[in-house]
């Protein structure tokens, strides 16, 4: 599904780094960027997952390099971008997609564990900030862009997901403030997906009551495929969005419209 949508935008000669690019939404974004002509560096903590994505891109005739990195470690992030520049000559786009929401961060506020809260903030918010700033010089030199993958949880409250919601609200705010400071050289935008069919949402598919409650609130009456998030990300990374910065594009089938 990514190909027919994302091929409408030309990212030839662009180099994109996609965090959390080994599976789910990140995988779809990496493939979508590649289908639009970009050279893609999918990164995650899993070497096997990112290498499979890179192999898929190369099998389709694109260029890709899998790099493992822990976004909680600045040294590993610096090494990620240094390797990308060495291999491909620069960085044009950073897609901050990596996220965490472990069981230790779920539940009523008083039951959230400190370690779970810190992990979510460290990956979802601090990790995005570290990646963007590590690439700042390259992005300014090349007129690049940053696309942060936030969530509807960055726009409204969600029950029992307090660290996640806090991190995504923070990411939306970071998007807007960085867009101001880095203009006019670098554009910074975000997408805010609603419920998307991935391995992380399998529980929703299995819980008929929860699934129906989501569909009842969603005007488009379904849960999104990962490729439906990839298309908006590719758009924001492309010249078609050349006058778009500081924006948050909601991709939720109308869930937040009600």
Give tens-digit pLDDT for 122-177: 999 999 999 999 999 999 999 999 999 999 999 999 999 999 999 999 999 999 99
147's CB contacts (< 8 A; 6+ apart) are: 93, 94, 95, 96, 189, 190, 191, 233, 236, 237
Question: What secondary structure letter does DSSP report for 64?
Answer: B
Give tens-digit pLDDT for 168-210: 999 999 999 999 999 999 999 999 999 998 876 666 667 788 8
Mean pLDDT of 237-241: 97
Q: Any catalytic annotation for residue 195?
A: no
Domain ranges of the chain: 2-250
Contact at 8 Å (CB) between 32 and 230? yes
**Annotated catalytic residue, options 9, 164, 195, 255:** 164
Class for the domain spanning 2-250: alpha beta
Give tens-digit pLDDT for 44-95: 999 999 999 999 999 999 999 999 999 999 999 999 999 999 999 999 999 9
- What's the pTM value of the predicted model, to 2 decimals? 0.95
């Amino acid at each position: 599904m990514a190909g027919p949508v994302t091929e409408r935008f030309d990212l030839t000669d662009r180099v994109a780094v996609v965090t959390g690019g080994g599976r789910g939404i990140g995988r779809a974004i990496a493939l979508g960027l590649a289908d639009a002509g970009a050279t893609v560096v999918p990164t995650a903590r899993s070497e096997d997952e990112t290498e499979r994505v890179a192999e898929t891109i190369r099998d389709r005739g694109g260029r890709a390099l899998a790099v493992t990195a822990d976004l909680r470690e600045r040294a590993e992030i610096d090494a990620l971008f240094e390797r990308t520049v060495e291999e491909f000559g620069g960085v044009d786009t950073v897609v901050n997609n990596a996220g965490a929401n472990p069981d230790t961060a779920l539940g009523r506020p008083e039951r959230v564990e400190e370690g779970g809260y810190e992990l979510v903030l460290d990956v979802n918010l601090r990790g995005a900030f570290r990646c963007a700033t590590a690439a700042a010089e390259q992005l300014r030199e090349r007129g690049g862009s940053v696309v942060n993958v936030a969530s509807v949880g960055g726009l409204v409250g969600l029950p029992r997901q307090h660290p996640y919601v806090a991190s995504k609200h923070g990411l939306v705010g970071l998007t807007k403030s960085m867009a101001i400071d880095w203009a006019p050289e670098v554009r910074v935008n975000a997408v805010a997906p609603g419920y998307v069919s991935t391995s992380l949402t399998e529980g929703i598919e299995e819980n008929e009551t929860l699934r129906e409650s989501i569909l009842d609130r969603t005007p488009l009456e379904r849960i999104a495929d990962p490729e439906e998030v990839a298309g908006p990300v590719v758009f924001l990374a492309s010249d078609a969005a050349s006058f778009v910065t500081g924006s948050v594009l909601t991709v939720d089938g109308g869930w937040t419209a009600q």
